């Protein structure tokens, strides 16, 4: 199932990746190969196998509703490229 260029461009857009034309061509090929492999799995008859969200076998792992100390504001912002007035500062976003 070969991918078309437009689909690759959309995936790149969603993942916020700026790809060159060379890369787009290369990834079109590589992603198509991956999808082809997944398509082979699709041909298996799985009607007798229940849908599986997780394979660990765990369920109902929960914690009691108790507040615990958070990080200090300085620690929270320690890795921020820019901060202002105790907040992360990022390029303008519009609501």
Partner 1 sequence: MDYEIVIGLECHVQLLTQSKMFCGCATDYDGAPPNTRVCPVCLGLPGALPVINRKAVEYTVITGLALHCQIAEFAKFDRKNYHYPDLAKGYQISQYDLPLTRQGWLDVEVEGQTKRVGITRVHLEEDTAKNTHLGETSLVDYNRAGVPLMEIVTEPDLRSPEEARVFASNLRRILRWIGVSTGDMEAGALRVDANISVRPQGQAKFGTKTEIKNMNSFRAVKLALEYEAQRQIDVLEHGGRIVQETRGWVEGEGRTVSQRSKEFAHDYRYFPEPDLPPLVLSSTEVERLRAQLPELPEARAERLMARYGLSQYDAGVLTGSRAVADYYEAAVAAHGNGKAVANWVSGEMFRLLRGATLEIEAVPVSPQALAELLRLVDDGTIGISVAKTVLEEMFATGQRAGEIVRAKGLTQISDQDQLRQVAADIIAANPKAVADYRGGKPTAVKFLVGQVMRATRGQANPTVASEILEQLLNESNGRQPS
The DSSP secondary structure of 3-45, one letter per residue, reads: PPHHHHHHHHHHTT----HHHHHHHHHHHHHHHHHHHHHHTS-
List of residues 6+ apart from 90 with CB closer than 8 A: 82
15 vs 44, beta carbon nearer partner 1:
15
> In terms of CB distance, is 44 or 67 closer to partner 1?
67
Q: Which residues bind partner 1 (CB under 8 A)?
A: 10, 13-14, 16, 53-54, 56, 58-73, 76-77, 82, 84-95
- Residue among 34 and 90 whose Cβ is closer to partner 1: 90
């Amino acid at each position: 199932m070969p991918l078309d260029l437009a689909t690759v461009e959309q995936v790149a857009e969603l993942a916020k990746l700026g790809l060159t034309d060379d890369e787009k061509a290369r990834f079109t090929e590589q992603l198509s190969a991956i999808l082809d492999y997944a398509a082979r799995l699709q041909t298996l008859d799985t009607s007798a196998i229940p849908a599986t969200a997780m394979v660990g076998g765990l369920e109902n792992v929960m914690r009691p509703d108790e507040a615990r100390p958070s990080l200090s504001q300085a620690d929270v912002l320690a890795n921020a490229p820019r901060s202002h007035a105790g907040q992360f500062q990022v390029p303008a976003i519009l609501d």
